[in-house]
Amino acid sequence: MPELRKDPIVGRWIIISTERAKRPTDFVAKPEAKRGGFCPFCPGNEDKTPPEIMAYRDNGTQPNTTGWRMRVVSNKFPALMTEGDLNRAGDGIYDKMGGIGAHEVIIETPDHELTLSTMPLSGVINVLYAYKERLIDLKRDQRLRYVMIFKNHGEAAGASLEHPHSQLIALPIVPKRVREELFGSKNYFEYKERCLFCDIIRQEIEREIRMIEETDYFIAISPFAPRFPFETWIMPKIHKAAFENLSDNELSSLAVILQNTLKRIDKILNFPAYNFVIHSAPFHDSQSESYHYHIEIMPKLTKVAGFEWGTGFYINPMPPELAAKYLREEGLVAETQPLAI
> Residue 284 catalytic?
no
Distance CA 304, CA 312 (A): 13
* Residue 39 known to bind ligand: yes
Closest separation in Å from C-beta 278 to its own copies: 10
Of 165, 279, 292, 294, the active-site residue reads 165
Distance CA 19, CA 81 (A): 10
Going by C-alpha positions, the residue among 181, 175, 174 that lies closest to residue 284 is 174
Going by C-alpha positions, the residue among 139, 106, 140 that lies closest to residue 124 is 106
Exposure b/e, 167-202, CB count within 10 A at least 16 = b: bbbbbbbbbeebbebbeebbebbeeeeebbbbebbe
Closest separation in Å from C-beta 152 to its own copies: 5
Angle (nearest 5°) at CA 89 between 85 and 280: 65
Q: Are 150 and 275 in contact (CB under 8 A)?
A: yes
Closest separation in Å from C-beta 49 to its own copies: 19
| Residue 1 vs 121, nearer CB to its own copies | 1
Backbone angles phi, psi at 168, to 5 degrees: -135, 145
* Residue 112 known to bind ligand: yes
Distance CA 199, CA 206 (A): 11
Distance CA 264, CA 274 (A): 13
| Residue 62 vs 270, nearer CB to its own copies | 270
- Count how many residues are written for the chain: 341
Closest separation in Å from C-beta 133 to its own copies: 21
* Residue 163 known to bind ligand: yes
Q: What is the DSSP string of 28-84?
A: S--PPPPSSS--TTSTT-GGGSSPEEEEEE-TTPPTTSS-EEEEEEE-SS-SSBSSS
Backbone angles phi, psi at 197, to 5 degrees: -65, -40
The DSSP element (H or E) to which 147 belongs, if any, is strand 146-153
Closest separation in Å from C-beta 103 to its own copies: 9
Distance CA 174, CA 275 (A): 20
- Annotated binding residues, written as ranges, equal 39, 42, 112, 163
**Catalytic residues, which ones?**
165
Residues forming the annotated binding site for Zn(2+)?
Answer: 39, 42, 112, 163
